[in-house]
Amino acid sequence: MVARRTSDSSGPSGAAGDVLEGTPYRALRGLGRGGMGEVVEAEHRALRKRVVVKLVRRALAHDPRFADRLQVEARALAAVSSPHVVAVLDLGQTPSGRPYFVMERLEGWTLGEELQRRGPLPVAEAIDLVRQVLAGLAAAHRAGVIHRDVKLDNVFLCAPGAAAPGDTRVAKVLDFGVAKVLDGALAGAAPGAPPAVDGPAYPTEAGLLVGTPRTASPEQAQCQPVDARADVYAVGLLMYTLVVGHGPFAHVEDALGVLRAHVLEAPALPSRYAAQPIPAALDRAVLKALAKRPEERFQSAEAFAAELGRIAGELAEGGGSWRAGRAPEAEAGWGPQSRAWFEAVGEGTSGVRAGGGVAGVAVEAGEAPVDAWLFAGLTLASTAVFSAIAALVLRGMGVW
Ligand SMILES: Nc1ncnc2c1ncn2[C@@H]1O[C@H](COP(=O)(O)OP(=O)(O)OP(=O)(O)O)[C@@H](O)[C@H]1O
Ligand SMILES: [Mg+2]
Residue-wise pLDDT tens for the chain (400 aa)? Answer: 333 333 333 456 544 579 999 999 999 999 988 878 899 999 999 999 999 999 999 888 888 888 889 999 999 999 999 999 999 999 999 999 999 999 999 999 999 999 999 999 999 999 999 999 999 999 999 999 999 999 999 999 998 878 877 778 999 999 998 899 886 676 544 444 333 333 333 344 445 667 889 999 999 999 999 999 999 999 999 999 999 999 999 999 999 999 999 999 999 999 999 999 999 999 999 999 999 999 999 999 999 999 999 999 999 988 778 877 654 444 443 333 333 333 333 322 222 222 222 222 222 222 333 433 444 443 333 332 223 333 343 333 332 2
Q: Which ligand is nearest to the CA of 151?
A: 2
Ligand 1 centroid distance, CA of 5 (Å): 10
Instruction: Indicate which residue's Cα is closest to atom 1 of ligand 1.
Output: 105
Determine contact, residues 137/173, Cβ cutoff 8 Å.
Answer: yes
* CATH code that applies to domain 108-183+209-318: 1.10.510.10
Ligand 2 centroid distance, CA of 315 (Å): 32
pLDDT of residue 326: 54
**Is 54 annotated for ligand binding?**
yes
The response to whether residue 153 sits with its C-beta less than 6 Å from ligand 1 reads yes
pLDDT of residue 318: 83
Atom of ligand 1 nearest to the CA of 174: 18
pLDDT of residue 187: 59
Atom of ligand 1 nearest to the CA of 31: 12
Ligand 2 centroid distance, CA of 213 (Å): 14
pLDDT of residue 320: 72
The C-alpha atoms of residue 36 and residue 329 are separated, in whole angstroms, by 39
The C-alpha atoms of residue 61 and residue 252 are separated, in whole angstroms, by 35
Residue 173 dihedral angles phi and psi, to the nearest 5°: -80, 135
Determine contact, residues 242/120, Cβ cutoff 8 Å.
Answer: yes
The response to whether residue 108 sits with its C-beta less than 6 Å from ligand 1 reads no
Q: How many CA atoms lie within 13 A of 283 on its CB side?
A: 24
* CATH code that applies to domain 15-104: 3.30.200.20
Walk across the sheet containing 88-93 and list its strands: 25-33, 37-44, 50-56, 99-104, 88-93
The response to whether residue 70 sits with its C-beta less than 6 Å from ligand 1 reads no
Q: Is this model's pTM higher than 0.75 or not?
A: yes
Q: Which ligand is nearest to the CA of 72?
A: 1
Q: Active-site residue numbers?
A: 149
The C-alpha atoms of residue 75 and residue 202 are separated, in whole angstroms, by 11
Would you say how long the chain is, in residues?
A: 400
Burial degree of 247 (CB within 10 A; 0-12, 13-18, 19+): buried
Ligand 2 centroid distance, CA of 373 (Å): 12
Instruction: Indicate which residue's Cα is closest to atom 18 of ligand 1.
Output: 175
